Structure 1
């Protein structure tokens, strides 16, 4: 049985933290869209992107280490971190799509008022 590499766990938990922040900001952005507060939604999507970039940078450094012969033990925490990273990416894309839809809804509502 291999020894636990504390650094690997630390990096995995950092990915989980940043990815969680990204998802939370994306969810808040969707809520802002529902109120047609697109400035707030864009700020939140920007914050989500910044958090996502941080966890992606950690993942990239892990890939670089692996390529340079510094093996990372795959454990359930790392797998969980990768799930969070993937979900953050999807949630940000979802928030962007929902914002575009709400903008179209608002445009249609405004046209309807003008009729």
Structure 2
């Protein structure tokens, strides 16, 4: 895998993670108001984008595990940062869904 291919995978990770992040933050706004109608669809959309980002990450991991000496640049590191923070956000939004459902169903 050359440097340009690695950069493109980094951009893919940023894009997919960014899309998931936007979906999750919009969902959080909705559930704050008690609107739970979009929860399943939004989580599915976010999870699909996270899966795509993870698949791009896995390509790099497999390449390195196979013995390739990769020149990791800042773009790929930036993508990793986006992916990890969005995965954390996904977990937190699930907790918020549960908390807000409890609040609005009392």
Under a length normalisation based on structure 2, what TM-score does the superposition of the two structures give?
0.92
- Following superposition, the deviation at residue 70 of structure 1 comes to 2.3
Aligned residue for 2:37, secondary structure, equals helix
Relative contact order (alpha carbons < 8 A, sep ≥ 6): 1 or 2 greater? 2
Asked if structure 2 preserves the Cα contact closer than 8 Å seen for 1:28 and 1:41, the reply is: no
Alignment of 1:91-102 (within 5 A): 91-102=89-100
Root mean square deviation of aligned Cα: 1.2
Provide the residue aligned with 2:4 in structure 1. 6
| 2:61 aligned partner | 63
**Separation (CA, whole Å) in 2 of partners of 1:56 and 1:74:** 17
Equivalent residue, structure 1, for 2:71: 73
Instruction: Kindly report structure 1 stretches of 4+ aligned residues shifted beyond 6 Å.
Output: none
Paired residues, number: 105
User: By how many angstroms is 1:98 displaced?
Assistant: 0.6
The yes-or-no answer on 1:51 pairing with 2:49 is: yes
What is the rounded CA distance, in whole Å, between the counterparts of 1:71 and 1:48 in structure 2? Answer: 32
Note if 1:107 corresponds to 2:105.
Answer: yes
**Structure 1 unmatched ranges of 5 or more:** 109-115
- Between Structure 1 and Structure 2, whose CA radius of gyration is higher? 1
User: What is the TM-score normalised by the length of structure 1?
Assistant: 0.85
Unpaired runs of 5+ residues, structure 2, are none
